[in-house]
Amino acid sequence: MTLLLIFSFLTFTNPAPAPTGYTIGDVATDFSLKSVDGKMYSMAQFDKAKGFIIVFTCNHCPFAVKYEDRINDLAKMYTDKGYILLAINPNDPEVQPNDGYALMQERAKEKGFVFPYLFDEGQKVYPQYGATKTPHVFLLDNERVVRYIGAIDNNADDADAVTEKYLENAISALEKGEKPNPNMTKAIGCSIKVKK
């Protein structure tokens, strides 16, 4: 990781950071992160899970906020089907105070989140996944293999105008033993907040 960072500083022709994080087929790392309920959560706790929906999201980002209800609905829809949704706030509250732990607890309570809303203490998990913005979704199967990365659907502004439910379609594919297609999609989001 450090080598990649050094290398990217040396490549003057295209200073864009070298892509890091997972791609389709990689095995994703587990973690142990604190949720708004005060408890620690890991994927290992859910040994009967058919898959995991890891959503990097936060309080402050307007795009993440647009998806809050949808994320909650997805958790309600899929937990019984064996897909565990875990939301992770990757931001540094010192850079973005609205993403602090206490405010996460407030938001979870206010919106009735039914899923663990985890704080990426030390910001160590999101770089391993390669999350670059909020919201950013990684769908894993029961062996934690990454099967879909990207957007939840194709209309952030208007849930009623969605024509492609990318994440739901990806889960349906997994249920049928098929490969999600598309397996990667792109959308606009807020950059992840780290100290400079």
Partner 1 sequence: MVSMVRSVCIPFMVVMFSTSLCGQIPAYHSFDAFAKEHLERSDDTMYLFNFWATWCKPCVEELPHFITLSEKVSDGPYKIVFVSLDSYKNTEKLFAFVTEKLPNQSVVQLTDNKYNDWLDKVDPSWSGSIPASLLQKGLKREFHEKQFEDFEDLHTVWLHFIKN
Binding site for partner 1 (CB under 8 A): 12-17, 19, 62, 96, 132-133, 150-151, 154-157, 164, 166, 182, 185-192, 196
Question: What's the Cα-to-Cα distance from 65 to each of 6, 62, 69, 144, 153, rounded to whole Å?
Answer: 35, 5, 8, 27, 14
| Residue 62 CB, nearest approach to partner 1 (Å) | 5
Q: Which is nearer to partner 1, 2 or 13 (CB)?
A: 13
| Residue 67 CB, nearest approach to partner 1 (Å) | 13
Q: Which is nearer to partner 1, 79 or 98 (CB)?
A: 98
CB–CB of 60/91 below 8 Å? yes
| Residue 15 CB, nearest approach to partner 1 (Å) | 7
Question: 């594919």: which residue's tokens?
Answer: 173
Question: 């909650």: which residue's tokens?
Answer: 72
Q: Which is nearer to partner 1, 71 or 149 (CB)?
A: 149
Asked if the bond preceding 182 is cis, omega within 30° of 0, the reply is: yes
Q: Which is nearer to partner 1, 13 or 143 (CB)?
A: 13
| Residue 169 CB, nearest approach to partner 1 (Å) | 13
Q: Which is nearer to partner 1, 107 or 133 (CB)?
A: 133
Bridge partners (DSSP) of residue 10 are none
E-strand ranges in 6-158 read 33-35, 40-41, 51-56, 83-89, 117-119, 133-134, 136-141, 146-150
Question: 């949720």: which residue's tokens?
Answer: 35
Q: Which is nearer to partner 1, 136 or 147 (CB)?
A: 136
Question: What's the Cα-to-Cα distance from 101 to each of 118, 120, 186, rounded to whole Å?
Answer: 9, 10, 28
Amino acid at 58: C
| Residue 185 CB, nearest approach to partner 1 (Å) | 5
| Residue 108 CB, nearest approach to partner 1 (Å) | 22
